[in-house]
Structure 1
Amino acid sequence: MKKNNRINVCGRTINYEIVYSKKRKSAAILVRPDMKVEFRAPQCLSADTIQGMVERKAWWIFKKLEWFEENRLPDQKKQYCDGEVYLYLGRECPLRITSMNNIKKPLAFFQDSELKVEISENTSEDQLPFLVKEAVWNFYSKRAEEEVEKLLKIYSKKLGVDTPIFKVKYQKKRWGSCSAENVLRINFQLIMAPPKQLEYVVVHELCHVKEKNHSARFWKFVRELMPDYEKHRNSLKKDGWKYVL
């Protein structure tokens, strides 16, 4: 059960959402990066008691909100319009949309340091961003598939395993995964990253074919295949927020 509430402290307002849970035994305050404050409470806790707890933690909440405001990441949602900048293999490239005769299906490709999309001149303004997006996603997916296949052939041989089945797809919260059946899934948006970051994710997931957890043995396999993996792992953690289509 959820309930919205607010308090005024020192001339400032804190809006917070109370989330009750039957399983929770103690209370907790969560300040999220989207600037929302959530109070997680056992069902027995009254609204007045919760309000008092929020008031006592007000200074801490304000500090958290200020930090998230100062470190808020820019909105990466793409508009799919001409001139917009995209990342491709770690490089910034402008999007160039060209209207053409006799184009049945939009086509995206990389040429002369630009991400180009050819589209029918009969395309309406309302349809344009959706069709451009489809073309860009298809192009990025295909290129990611080509790169992943190439890397898997190289590293499977080095690891001494058969080249596993893999799928390149959109994953909202993960760069890659390896199933119990050794099917690898790689996020196609990694084609936006410098090649070594994609290479690290492929090596990481491939090593799960031999070791399903993140044990010392697992990281030994990763290091043997990619001695400088930590450098690329850290850069992916630092810059991964940019790889959004």
Structure 2
Amino acid sequence: MSMPTALPYIANYPLDLQQQVGKMIDEDMLAAFLLGKYPKAHSLSSDKELRDFVMSFKNRYLKKAGPLSKIVYDNKIHVINNALGLHSTVSRVQGGKLKSKNEIRISSLFRKAPLEFLSMIVVHELAHLKEKDHNKAFYQLCQHMLPDYYQLEFDMRLYLTQIDIAGPIYRETQ
């Protein structure tokens, strides 16, 4: 069976769960499991489509949060750096005033992923508009916007494990 240390994306989960995943990997069943649960990738491939998708969540759950000046897929975000998306506040001096702009960048890896995984990343980054730290209030907000947030986060970690082991399992949608 695969050693849990070979599973960095789920290293903080209970050992028995890591062993179950290791067994699925050994039996070459992880991709089939993911495809059974999430059969296809979404079709939001452009930055405009991503922006519309993000704004639908923001307008539904975070109407009073500050505006987002930029929402894009980003090829420079790498999972290796423990980032799947980034929320940043860019401050600039304009006419003697300090203006800040909120930006959300989503790893391009999620152009070819199930909508559920993209939703999880979007909700995570939007929650940072109200809660900067990963604290209890932050995760409560994530769950408010996406009730199955924790399950989707775990499944997304399985997906990242699958990518590391054998490459992507979803193709670009037509």
TM-score by length of 2: 0.56
CA contact (8 A) 2:116 2:152 kept: yes
CA drift of 1:162 comes to 4.3
One-letter amino acid of the counterpart of residue 168, structure 1: Y
CA drift of 1:167 comes to 2.5
Aligned to 1:157: 59
Please provide the CA RMSD for this pair: 3.2
Structure 2 residue 78 is matched with structure 1 residue 172: yes
Q: How does 1:61-210 map to 2 (within 5 A)?
A: 91=40, 143-158=45-60, 159-160=62-63, 161-164=65-68, 165-170=70-75, 171-173=77-79, 174-181=83-90, 182-210=102-130
> For structure 1, which segment, 199-208 or 172-181, has the greater mean C-alpha deviation from structure 2 after superposition?
172-181
CA drift of 1:90 comes to 5.2
Aligned to 1:52: none
CA drift of 1:223 comes to 1.2
Structure 1 residue matching 2:134: 3-state secondary structure? coil
Structure 1, unaligned runs of 5 or more: 1-31, 34-67, 75-88, 93-139
Aligned to 2:172: none
CA drift of 1:191 comes to 2.1
Seen in structure 2, the aligned counterparts of structure 1 residues 90 and 201 have a Cα distance that, compared at 3 Å, is farther
Structure 2 residue 158 is matched with structure 1 residue 238: yes
TM-score by length of 1: 0.41
Alpha-carbon displacement from aligned partner over 1:179-225 (angstroms, at most 9, x marks no partner): 13331110111122111110110110011011111111111211111
Alpha-carbon displacement from aligned partner over 1:5-52 (angstroms, at most 9, x marks no partner): xxxxxxxxxxxxxxxxxxxxxxxxxxx85xxxxxxxxxxxxxxxxxxx
Q: 2:147 aligns with which of 217, 222, 227?
A: 227
Counting helix residues as a fraction of each chain, which structure ranks higher?
2
- Identical counterparts, % of pairs: 21
Structure 2 residue matching 1:214: 3-state secondary structure? coil
CA distance in 2, matches of 1:188, 1:194: 13
CA distance in 1, matches of 2:74, 2:143: 26
Aligned to 1:49: none
CA contact (8 A) 1:168 1:187 kept: yes
CA distance in 1, matches of 2:104, 2:115: 18
Structure 2, unaligned runs of 5 or more: 7-21, 29-37, 91-101, 169-174
**Structure ID, larger Rg:** 1
CA drift of 1:148 comes to 2.1
Structure 1 residue matching 2:45: 3-state secondary structure? helix
Seen in structure 2, the aligned counterparts of structure 1 residues 169 and 242 have a Cα distance that, compared at 3 Å, is farther
Alpha-carbon displacement from aligned partner over 1:49-102 (angstroms, at most 9, x marks no partner): xxxxxxxxxxxxxxxxxxx9xx68x9xxxxxxxxxxxxxx8538xxxxxxxxxx
Structure of higher RCO (CA pairs closer than 8 Å, 6+ residues apart): 2
